[in-house]
Amino acid sequence: MTQQNIYRTHTCGEINEAAIGLTVRLAGFVESVRDHGGIQFLDLRDHYGVVQVVLQDETMLQGVTRESAVTVSGVITRRDPDTVNEKITSGTVELRADSLTVLGRCRNNLPFDVLSSTETREEVRLTYRYLDLRNPKVHNKMILRSQVIAYLRQKMTELGFLEMQTPILSVSSPEGARDYLIPSRRHQGKFYALPQAPQIFKQLLMVSGFDKYFQVAPCFRDEDARADRSPGEFYQLDFEMAFATQEDVFAVAEQVIPAVFRKFAPGAAVSDAPFVRIPYKQCMLEFGSDKPDLRNPLRIVDLSDIFATSSFAPFRNKTVRGICVPGAASQPRSFFEGMLAFATGIGMKGLGYIKVTDEMTFLGPIDKFIPDDQRPVLIERAGLKPGCVLYFIGDTAANAPLLAGQIRNELGRRLDLLEKNAYRFCFVTDFPMYEQDEETGKIIFTHNPFSMPQGGLDALLHKDPLDILAYQYDIVCNGVELSSGAVRNHDVEIMKKAFEIAGYTEDDLKQKFSSLYNAFQYGAPPHAGMAPGIDRMIMLLTGDQNIREIILFPLNSNAQDTMLGAPGTVTEQQLREVHIKLR
């Protein structure tokens, strides 16, 4: 016979009208205590919910403080109609207490009110994160995180993927972000590194004959914090497939990712498969970013040729982008002034525009610089209609697309154009394999150096490197990059030539990437994969703008754990054991 739990017979979440008349024992934290003259009320909160407790013997409250852990027993009764709380599931009932025991007293003054902890300064919240996590709003985000990860595991397993764990102690990578280094005790002067991603290991798994691998993978990068990037560590749904193409990877992503959003954001509009596919070059033109927010209906068009011989110096022989904003001609003067202030704030010298009249004539200072023979071209290309406004962005070939992208985003925000309660996905494809380093002029890899070039060895031998595209792709949702991935370069001869173009010798390959170089000598299958970011998926689901809100115990923006005191000092003996002397 199973012995009954001595602290509780029910959870707070199980208490409702069906429990009326039952004698129960509950356990949890004291959320509040209220004295109504001869009768006391206590709100008891556990992981599952909140229940109001009525105490008619005030001695029961002796030693009870807010946030103390207690167990309380009594009979569940119906509340008086005027005391019903419809905000909680137990709001029509209460527990009439006949005993209360303090299990863990809160002895110190609380650093903040738990229920309003999110209004407290972040440093204080993170120092007392265990209290912050008691706030139901914060608590529920962690429950959601657990549920999402469990669902991802379920979906990947259903698709035939094996969950496998790759090593945490690895070797420093010469490519990518900055590593976290771990000194070796047994091998003096040598270091392990925490993996920035399981990239090498998962490719080696494909060489090992495994067909479909996945992992809820921790990744470690010594990077500065951003709103959407946690310093230190983050988690991704890492997966790889053997004998697979880009289309095979897309098919998996289209089955798994939108399913998560449909399950955990019921009622929201979610993109159906197949997702929109936008080549990188087109993406930079139409959206001014490789992270397009498809909820925004505005699109950017190229107007450079229209102004190629214009007398307007800021546009002549420059890259000129245009954004048509339907109906914006009726906006007040303050709107146009606000957009100009935003433009100058991001480094633009101005923000030209024209308004289109009912007669399809133009109003505005740019009007006189538009060649007469180009006006029909402008109307058709920009999709001009009566009452719209056409904004112009002119700058260098490198800057104009980025500035236009920021203007597009700001217009969408100020005019409230973004589709509501929607998750719009796309694949950004066909990234350039190489780019030219601005400082040295040398050809360097744009992204992942282990990607397969489109056209294979023939493209590497005969095309201008800056014209070579790679089988690299991103998943973007609502302007957030969720994942990057690639078809991997599994052929040693193609790999040697690809790295040679970027300035690496075969000896460099053997030395710096010896595991892949050697493994690919033994018959490597074509393979491909990607790694959607779990943290960013949760952020999209919760609507949070700060990634630390959806991580259990995050480092602060300065990469410190103020709760545990990390990074911290160590003893001289510990340093000696790993052969390190501090300078």
Give the pLDDT score at 3. 76
pLDDT digits (tens, 9 = 90+) for 276-293: 999 999 999 999 999 999
Q: Residue 1 pLDDT more than 60?
A: no
Instruction: Judge contact between 321 and 330, C-beta under 8 A.
Output: no
Instruction: Judge contact between 319 and 400, C-beta under 8 A.
Output: yes
DSSP-assigned letters across all residues of 120-177: S-HHHHHHTHHHHTTSHHHHHHHHHHHHHHHHHHHHHHHTTPEE----SSB---SSSS
Write the DSSP symbol of residue 558. Answer: T
Pairing of strands 232-242, 212-221: antiparallel
Better-scored residue on pLDDT, 3 or 145:
145
Give the pLDDT score at 35. 86
pLDDT digits (tens, 9 = 90+) for 34-49: 988 789 999 999 999 9
Instruction: Judge contact between 498 and 456, C-beta under 8 A.
Output: no
Average pLDDT score over the chain:
94
Q: Residue 336 pLDDT more than 80?
A: yes
E strands in 450-516? 472-477, 480-487
Give the pLDDT score at 498. 96
Torsion of CA 298, 302, 304, 305, to 10 degrees: -130
Percent above pLDDT 90 for the chain? 87
Write the DSSP symbol of residue 59. Answer: G
Give the pLDDT score at 177. 79
Least confident of 216-230, 392-406, 428-442: 216-230
pLDDT digits (tens, 9 = 90+) for 509-565: 998 889 999 999 999 999 999 999 999 999 999 999 999 999 999 999 999 999 999
Write the DSSP symbol of residue 416. Answer: T
Q: pTM of the predicted model, to two decimals?
A: 0.93
Q: Residue 235 pLDDT more than 60?
A: yes
pLDDT digits (tens, 9 = 90+) for 477-515: 999 999 999 999 999 999 999 999 999 999 999 988 899
Distances (CA, A) of 259 to 158, 476, 529: 13, 15, 19
Pairing of strands 23-35, 232-242: unpaired
Q: What's the average model confidence in pLDDT over 107-113?
A: 95
Give the pLDDT score at 272. 95
Instruction: Judge contact between 269 and 419, C-beta under 8 A.
Output: yes
Phi and psi angles of residue 459, each rounded to the nearest 5 degrees, phi first: -65, -40
Cis link prior to 279 (omega < 30° from 0)? no
Domains and CATH numbers, the chain: 12-104 (2.40.50.140), 121-264+530-583 (3.30.930.10), 296-418 (3.30.1360.30)
Q: What's the average model confidence in pLDDT over 204-210?
A: 98
453 Cβ neighbours under 8 A, 6+ residues apart: 433, 459, 460, 468, 469, 470, 471, 489, 494, 498
Q: What's the average model confidence in pLDDT over 201-211?
A: 97
Give the pLDDT score at 447. 84
Q: Residue 103 pLDDT more than 90?
A: yes
314 Cβ neighbours under 8 A, 6+ residues apart: 349, 350, 352, 394
Q: What's the average model confidence in pLDDT over 312-337?
A: 93
Pairing of strands 269-270, 422-423: parallel
Length of the chain: 583
Q: Residue 580 pLDDT more than 90?
A: yes
In 10 A of CB 509, how many CB atoms? 18
Closest CA relative to residue 303, chosen from 322, 288, 282: 322
Better-scored residue on pLDDT, 43 or 63:
43
The neighbouring-strand residues paired with 453 are: 470
Give the pLDDT score at 2. 63
